[in-house]
Amino acid sequence: MTARFEDWPRVRVADGVLLSDPRGAAAGLVRIRRARAPRTLRAVLAEACACPGARLDAATAEVQAVVTDAAEHGVIARLRAAPGVTCEPDRLIAIVHGERAQIQLEGCCAAPAEAAGFERAFEALVRGTVTGEPPLRRRLFGYQPPRGWHGVRRACATVWLPPGCPREPGALAVYDATPVAATAARRTHALLAGPPAGAGEPIVVGPWRDATIWRGADATIVRCRDARFEYELRLDHGGDPGRHGDAFDGVLRSVTPVPSPARAEATATSDAEFAWAI
């Protein structure tokens, strides 16, 4: 039997809605809530395992990255029982991310015969979740952060600091993608973040056909562009262009463009990391 959540009785709780299978809670429960402040998946899983009576193991969580039907990024994690525990059902925890809104979904099914159908329906529910944010806005996008660096979220950017900071100079900034059509936003970004539009020389970066690099005395800036968004990354090297060059190149080559709804399924990836993972 495939779960039809729209037919399930629902109860409003303090921070969202609780859905329960008409046959009883053991057959399936789903909670949907809007996070008051963005939270990392790591923090959400730790909270679930710390609940009184929970016997779940966050260390063995299976994480799947998804892109929703509205082209928002999300993750689904399966929490299994701790070693030696046989009566604890798996719990599914999902987060759908916007830049200012975040939806968290949790589900579990204690009936083994129903578990597979429940999981398929839960994934479909996650893919159909919307954050309510407009599609044309500054967007987070996927990339592989430099290994061992510490990320700090700033306004419209995520800044990565190298191991040994502050003794080790340097920083790598990944700016949120700016819509090409939003000319005012692009002008503001150019004033605050980098060289004027059109500066730099063409380069080849992975699959990008439209990319430029600008080399300054203290920083290197790369801009990539597709039909919808412009992506900018900046390496502050303190006057030594070779410092952290390998880390910068690695991040550049791992950039995943903002997906469009028509390409959501094709652009889902399980190995990209995002600014909200810090």
- Write the pLDDT tens digit of every residue in 43-63: 787 777 777 666 666 777 788
* 186 vs 146, residue with greater confidence: 146
Percentage with pLDDT > 90 across the chain: 23
Taking the model in full, what pTM does it have? 0.72
Q: Which CATH architecture has domain 150-258+271-277?
A: 3-Layer(aba) Sandwich (3.40)
Using alpha carbons, select from 108, 111, 141, 99 the residue that is nearest to residue 226. 141
CA distance 140 to 211: 19
Query: What was the pLDDT predicted at 189?
Result: 67
Segment holding 122, helix H or strand E: helix 112-127
* 269 vs 130, residue with greater confidence: 130
CA distance 91 to 72: 23
Using alpha carbons, select from 218, 157, 223 the residue that is nearest to residue 192. 157
Contact 158, 143 (CB under 8 A): no
Q: What is the mean pLDDT of residues 223-239?
A: 91
The fold of 5-127 is Protein Transport Mog1p; Chain A (3.40.1000)
CA distance 45 to 106: 11
At 24, the pLDDT band (50, 70, 90 cuts) reads: confident
Distances (CA, A) of 119 to 30, 48, 104, 213: 11, 18, 16, 45
Q: For the chain, give every residue range classified as CATH 3.40.1000.10.
A: 5-127
Query: What was the pLDDT predicted at 278?
Result: 40
CA distance 61 to 76: 10
What's the mean pLDDT when you consider all of the chain?
81
Contact 112, 79 (CB under 8 A): no
Query: What was the pLDDT predicted at 83?
Result: 61
Q: What is the mean pLDDT of residues 85-102?
A: 80
